[in-house]
Amino acid sequence: MAISMKTTTKMSALLACASLFALPAQAQDSVRPDLEGIWTNASLTKLSRPAGVETLVVTPEEARVIAANTPIAGLEGGLDEGDGVNNTPSADDEDFGTRAYNNFWVEPGANLAMIKGDFRTSYVVNPENGQVPRLDNPNYDFERRNFGSRYATGFGDARGPEAIPNAERCLIGFGNKAGPGMMSALYNNTYQFVQTEDYVMILVEMVHDARIIPIFDTAEDARASRRPLVLEQWFGDSVGWYEDGELVVDTVNINPLQLSQSSIPITKAGHIVERFSRYSDNEIFYRFTVEDSNIYSQPWTAELSFYATDDGLYEYACHEGNYSMPGILAGARRLEMEEAARESN
């Protein structure tokens, strides 16, 4: 599990780098929402509505009950009130090490997502059943690597570095933190938004991912300024504009490696449109719509909110500078040797 340490963010250097890699953008002159600041989207709400819950909006008491029974990292039991998570095993138990060992390292939020004053049971609002309308047989063949299963069991494919999921390799954050379709996860649910005349930059606390979005005068100008398809970037090719007091961001061409491990995958034929607006002094209302007939039976839409926070951002150390990867690969080679020895006897 990654360790967070306080750090100073050098935004001026980051924005200077943006000009080296992003297409020239035109300054906007429409009314734009003020998104600057540090925000969090931490909540126990998931993308799809849990089984047995019929309504999108619930009362505060119903929200408390649902939150108390929400699995954490795929494990039943939720956050307990003591110093463990999900009935954490003791040091001499066989499954010790496969679950979070105390609440200090786990901060997914304490309740369901509150959006415009209401507790929500799913991020998905359309379809009304709160479920992502995935096709049973998608018209696209991609390998699914289950980071959640590896986290809960400690077992997974370790044939080589490329077999290990992106998040475990610290390439990008897990749980679709940086999006497109930015959602909360187990920890590090903080973001910094920076706006200039020509760009919006969203710094994601987890794995210090940064989305640098060029801003154009109109939707037509933005979509006419796509990068070549050969440039398969993390988080896709995003372009933005301001419209009716909202920041609108349209994304296509997500990196295939991210596609295979995303909870919101789209192919090159699909796109995701995100909309950011200020609902109040301390709340950004965030809505995104996903369209891709290769994977989904219909377009679908999700909503959540970002809330202002004074906590600041933390460094996401991840695997940087430690021996996790050599240890994972060495363990896999040892298991292969033991299996070969058994087969030869």
DSSP 8-state secondary structure symbol assigned to residue 342: H
Confidence (pLDDT) at 248: 98
Contacts of residue 146, defined as CB under 8 A and 6 or more positions apart, other chains included, come to 156, 165
Assess contact for 250 and 242: CB atoms under 8 A: no
Type of residue found at 6:
K
The whole-angstrom separation of Cα 84 and Cα 186 is: 14
> pTM surpassing 0.85?
no
What was the pLDDT predicted at 74?
A: 55
pLDDT < 50 stretches in the chain: 1-29, 80-86
Q: In which residue are the tokens 């110093």 written? A: 83
Which pair of tokens denotes residue 247?
């920041």
Q: How many angstroms separate the first and last alpha carbons of the chain? A: 38
CA distances from 341 to 259, 331, 334, 335, 337 (A): 38, 15, 11, 10, 6
**Cβ distance 250 to 225 under 8 Å?**
no
Instruction: Please classify residue 61 by burial: count the beta carbons closer than 10 Å to its beta carbon, then call 0-12 exposed, 13-18 middle and 19+ buried.
Output: exposed
CA 160 vs CA 149, 329, 332, 333: distances in Å: 18, 7, 9, 10
Q: Which of 131, 117, 129, 133 is nearest to 55 (CA)?
A: 129
Closest by alpha carbon to 187, among 81, 100, 65, 97? Answer: 100
Backbone angles phi, psi at 305, to 5 degrees: -130, 150
Distance CA(177)–CA(209), nearest Å, equals: 9
Within its chain, how far is the Cα of 29 from the centroid? 31
Alpha carbons 69 and 234: distance in angstroms, whole number: 34
pLDDT of residue 81: 46
Closest Cα partner for 257 from 229, 228, 227, 236? 236
Contact, 274 vs 248, CB < 8 A?
A: yes
pLDDT at 21: 41
Tokens for 125, please give them.
């609002």
Q: Is the separation of the CB atoms in 156 and 79 below 8 Å?
A: no
Question: Which residue type, as a one-letter code, is found at position 86?
Answer: N
Instruction: For residues 81 and 196, give the distance between their C-alpha atoms in angstroms, rounded to a whole number.
Output: 43
